[in-house]
Chains A and B, each alone.
Chain A
């Protein structure tokens, strides 16, 4: 077979890929440009494309005039809380699914898969009623619980496939050496699961950070995560696109950076199941 020439490769591969990358990036790049254009310029001549017109004016206003930093803290507390709750209850469950064959195993696994399919709108209304009765509306705890409805089944499912990849003989060897089941889980399986736990945790963090509808419905006044806060930047009389764009860029940054950092491993874990099918 003859090797295709470089020119041909550029025309049939590099160029089309460039178009798609541009398509994927352009809207967010436009948002960044908007955030760098001061409001006065934005209203007069539109988004400034050349660096000479850029300033951090909108970002300064975002930090100084709004409660955005406090909103970031709210988001952080909720996302970290969701990760902890999601992982804590799921690790042992995943171990059970992968190591034991017991009555009801399939039904319980099915149950976890089913939860992930339920429409959020079916959950959000009764959760509102429940949390109102418990008097925990508008607290971090309520939003952590709400996010956990999606995080727990996801974590159980992901971690089960990670534990499944660790050879059974390892924990059996530890048990012949006198460890109990739980000690074997803690000392042998848990360290080996760490990469899986970390990717699952990061995915939960991103999802919880980006979550909007629960945050809007179950929180919003005292506890206002960035996703809700961004929308309040719209302003009362006129949409302040520059400020809004700055909020959107800052709000999207943590999840996007984390995602880029771990994307390779994350995608490996997410696609494993599908490819096997």
Chain B
């Protein structure tokens, strides 16, 4: 209680930490402290864990193995399969999303009566929980009762039903189709915003000069939305690389290792085998790969912050 007794000299000279210079740090302290505890601390922990042979619920078995996990990783054929799958997965999903998104944005940028409604409806896939998306598409892809086989058989595109998610050579592409469906609205929305930032006068001037629609697209539209495409594309690479919930629910990585990607492999190792040491090693390695892409994105964004 004695500390509450007011000391008059506090009013005379403010202690150094009440100085205006420290103001921003106080204001930032809550956010920085919380993220330090729930993000950076665990992250450092993860790097440490990757040097240990740690199988959860067997705490006594935890022992330091140095780079042992990493050496094991590079000799692990599943790792290379998962890495290759990750490359195909990102390499196909992001361009497909971007292409479909660009097409959608160009259409939505035109004048027609129900434009507002169309724009709202197109975004719906983006707002749905990924579990719902994954289960929904599992139902559509179902080999016996799924609607996709029904339609394709009816249209005579297929002669026999395809087990979309059970066939190792098809499963990854079936999931890529689902992710394309989930992600193209994001691109459509970003690109649409970019399109609306291009002054109409440029198009008017070009059509007076007799430029064809294609030339207008190449020389006005594409340069106009270039920065948006780059930012959205990079963000999407990072996002698609990280998201594993859709694959996890759709196939759980199977059949065999056909739909294993790196983050999923790490997750499954830790979740099913409780092998946290090795799982974390995969996660750290994947993060290093992703880091290169993140660096490009950060360099772009920081240029903007400095403005």
Q: Report if B71 contacts A (CB, 8 A).
A: no
Q: Report if B123 contacts A (CB, 8 A).
A: yes
A124 pairs with B267, CB closer than 8 A: yes
A113 pairs with B301, CB closer than 8 A: yes
Give the chain A neighbours of B271 by CB distance below 8 A. 217
Question: How many residues of chain A have a CB within 8 Å of chain B?
Answer: 93
Per-residue CB contact flags for chain A residues 5-21 toward chain B (1 = under 8 Å, else 0) read 00001000110110011
Give the chain B neighbours of A260 by CB distance below 8 A. 120, 124, 127
Question: From residue B130, how far is it (CB to closest CB) to chain A in Å?
Answer: 6
B121 pairs with A34, CB closer than 8 A: no
Per-residue CB contact flags for chain A residues 243-263 toward chain B (1 = under 8 Å, else 0) read 011001001100110011001
Give the chain B neighbours of A9 by CB distance below 8 A. 110-112
- How far is B122's CA from A248's CA once the two chains are assembled, in angstroms? 19
B287 pairs with A277, CB closer than 8 A: no
Contact of B42 among A1, A28, A47, A123 (CB under 8 A): A123
The A86-104 residues at the B interface (CB cut-off 8 A) are 88-90, 92-93, 95-97, 99-100, 102
Secondary structure type dominating chain B contacts: helix
B107 pairs with A256, CB closer than 8 A: no
A231 pairs with B129, CB closer than 8 A: no
The A221-258 residues at the B interface (CB cut-off 8 A) are 226-228, 230-231, 241, 244-245, 248, 251-252, 255-256
- State which of A50-58, A65-73, A146-154, A193-201 sits at the interface with chain B: A146-154
Bin the interface of chain B by size: 35 or more
Question: From residue B244, how far is it (CB to closest CB) to chain A in Å?
Answer: 7
B145 pairs with A46, CB closer than 8 A: yes
Contact of B38 among A30, A127, A128 (CB under 8 A): A127
- How far is B120's CA from A269's CA once the two chains are assembled, in angstroms? 16
Chain A residue at minimal CB-CB distance from B121? A21
The A73-125 residues at the B interface (CB cut-off 8 A) are 85, 88-90, 92-93, 95-97, 99-100, 102, 105-106, 108-115, 117-125
The B59-75 residues at the A interface (CB cut-off 8 A) are none
A27 pairs with B39, CB closer than 8 A: no
Q: Report if B276 contacts A (CB, 8 A).
A: yes
B45 pairs with A126, CB closer than 8 A: yes
Number of A-B residue pairs having CB atoms within 8 Å of each other in the complex: 270
Q: Report if B253 contacts A (CB, 8 A).
A: no
- How far is B272's CA from A195's CA once the two chains are assembled, in angstroms? 44
B129 pairs with A17, CB closer than 8 A: no
Question: From residue B20, how far is it (CB to closest CB) to chain A in Å?
Answer: 8
Known A117-B294, A119-B241; contact A108-B28, beta-carbon cutoff 8 A: yes
Contact of A248 among B30, B103, B136, B197 (CB under 8 A): B136
- How far is B114's CA from A245's CA once the two chains are assembled, in angstroms? 29
Chain B residue at minimal CB-CB distance from A124? B267
A119 pairs with B283, CB closer than 8 A: yes
Known A21-B118, A112-B35; contact A122-B232, beta-carbon cutoff 8 A: no
Known A17-B108, A23-B181, A114-B298; contact A231-B131, beta-carbon cutoff 8 A: yes
Question: From residue A136, how far is it (CB to closest CB) to chain B in Å?
Answer: 12
A-B contact pairs, 15 of them (CB 8 A): A27-B136, A31-B139, A34-B139, A47-B147, A93-B27, A100-B23, A108-B28, A111-B32, A115-B35, A118-B43, A121-B242, A121-B244, A129-B276, A245-B139, A263-B123
